Amino acid sequence: TSAQAFAAVDIGASSGRVILGTMTDAGPELVTVHRFPNGVQFLGGALRWDVEALFAEVLTGLTAAAAAAAAAGTTVTSIGIDTWAVDYGLVDDTGALRHLPFSYRDGRTEATIGVVHAALPPERLYARTGLQFLPFNTLYQLAAERSLSGVQALLIPDLLAYRLTGERRTEATNASTTGLLDAATGTWAQDLLEALGLPADLFPPLVEPGSVVGHLLPAIAAGTGLPETTAVVAVGSHDTASAVAAVPAGSTRFAYISSGTWSLVGVELDTPILGDGSRAANFTNERGVDGTIRYLRNTGGLWLLQECLREWSVEGPEPDLLGLLTAAGELPAGGPVIDADSNDFLAPDGMPARIRRAAEAAGHAAPSSRAAVVRCILDSLAEAYARTLRDAVRLSGHAIDVIHVVGGGSQNALLCQLTADRTGLPVLAGPVEATALGNVLVQARAAGLVAAGPGLAGIREAARAAARTVRYEPADLAALSPAG
């Protein structure tokens, strides 16, 4: 075990964790020191994130990390923070929030998309930013704010880093999800801010993963038991960027599915693809660690299943997920498939009924049992993955011979098998905590414990040393293969 330890704060839409990472001779080692729930909340007439509660959980987790490091004879050198993308808090000069941050699932941008596109047509936006159209991209949310005078916008991980250090920065991978970053240069597209009437300094300056953002404020150090010398280091603060960095790939011929609340499906490129074909297929060019391009699509994710489970647990006893997955796996192939990518599934509530309606609208019999609903979700996700990967290969010309599934969904054996079957490609599942691993490895590299350059090579090598992956072979090699 190294004398240095790294704390990864990783908060997803449904749960958060603080993980302590160390580098051993056998590879990186991660220990979860704190876990807590998260979820959108209906507060003050809108869907929001309770960032005050989340910040309290971060402090609890960092306190646990300090104690765990001391017990292991190490010290926390630095902290990295990642969360979901696009959302932000508005802070005034004193650091106070103007209001609790909205969630990207709130429907208020329906009214502002047209306003933004009147000033900046979608073709121009795409050619410049390479960002897929999603109704919740930051620029549509900013257009819905009543006033932006006297405040700066801090993306959620940047907001948490500011609370820890007093320093305001915008981390570059997450900045690429705002719709205000130039895809080719990776710098703010000031003309777009101007065209939308946004203040030029609405966002703090950019910082690349691996750079020090600042050091702990004395009160935070005292409260958590961490040394005042503890740095907050920028990582791929967009959770998907950290997850993709930690894909344990051995060559460049891979696709990835970062599988959680969303499934982010795509390939890694050196340069963005900004043409009309790419825009029509709604592919995004988000920035990855080291300036890589995450050429991907947001496809439906386990949100559909999470929402069904939540609804069923309100109706009666806690549903047995493993039992449901087993029963779903025993159902015959060829059941109903719906468009898992549809924006109709964005908002919470009533998910089983919405899925049944979508199946009927697609000309199928509605799934009649809970197991059938689960199977319909997983078949539909696997179908969306296959479609998206065919498009990714076609549009990028990037050949693939394996699909790495990382994140929580990599534990769903049925989904992994259906993915292999529908794509005709082998699936390598794991690691589950890819996001936290990517977060830790960027910090460890900044501390000199992971080989630097070329590109992500050192990080990927360390990721391979850490990962225990499970391999799923396609049952039917004649199935449509994205590579062929």
Contacts with ligand LFR, residue ranges (CB under 6 A): 12-13, 84-86, 104, 238-240, 260-262, 264, 298
Helix, strand or coil, per DSSP, at residue 309: helix
Identity of the residue, 68 or 172, whose beta carbon is nearer to ligand LFR in the bound complex = 172
Half-sphere exposure of residue 304: CA atoms within 13 angstroms, side-chain side: 31
76 pairs with which residues across the strands? Answer: 5
8 Å CB contact between 81 and 234: no
Pick the closest to residue 359 from 348, 367, 347 (CA basis).
367
Rounded to a whole number of angstroms, the minimum distance from the CB of residue 142 to ligand LFR is: 15
Rounded to a whole number of angstroms, the minimum distance from the CB of residue 135 to ligand LFR is: 11
Of the listed 82, 87, 106, 239, which one is catalytic? Answer: 239
Rounded to a whole number of angstroms, the minimum distance from the CB of residue 359 to ligand LFR is: 25
Rounded to a whole number of angstroms, the minimum distance from the CB of residue 366 to ligand LFR is: 29
Identity of the residue, 105 or 464, whose beta carbon is nearer to ligand LFR in the bound complex = 105
Rounded to a whole number of angstroms, the minimum distance from the CB of residue 175 to ligand LFR is: 13
- Answer left, alpha or beta for residue 346, where phi above 0 means left and psi between -120 and 50 means alpha: alpha
Instruction: Look up 239 and say whether it is catalytic.
Output: yes
Pick the closest to residue 467 from 26, 65, 8 (CA basis).
26
Rounded to a whole number of angstroms, the minimum distance from the CB of residue 105 to ligand LFR is: 9
- Answer left, alpha or beta for residue 303, where phi above 0 means left and psi between -120 and 50 means alpha: alpha
Q: What is the Cα gyration radius of the chain?
A: 22
Identity of the residue, 294 or 356, whose beta carbon is nearer to ligand LFR in the bound complex = 294
Distance CA 124, CA 138 (A): 17
Helix, strand or coil, per DSSP, at residue 129: helix
| CA dist 295 → 187, 257, 429, 463, 465 (Å) | 18, 12, 20, 21, 25
8 Å CB contact between 29 and 468: no
Identity of the residue, 5 or 406, whose beta carbon is nearer to ligand LFR in the bound complex = 406
Residue 52, H or E segment: helix 51-71
Helix, strand or coil, per DSSP, at residue 237: coil
Identity of the residue, 16 or 21, whose beta carbon is nearer to ligand LFR in the bound complex = 16
Pick the closest to residue 411 from 426, 438, 384, 429 (CA basis).
429
Residue 252 φ/ψ, nearest 5 degrees: -90, -5
* Cβ neighbours for 121, distance < 8 A, ≥ 6 positions apart: none
Rounded to a whole number of angstroms, the minimum distance from the CB of residue 303 to ligand LFR is: 10
8 Å CB contact between 139 and 188: no
Residue in the structure block whose two tokens are 């501390």: 447
Rounded to a whole number of angstroms, the minimum distance from the CB of residue 156 to ligand LFR is: 9
- Sheet strands side by side (includes 402-406): 284-287, 293-299, 263-269, 254-259, 402-406, 427-429, 470-472
Q: For residue 140, give the amino acid letter.
A: Y
The residues that are catalytic are: 239
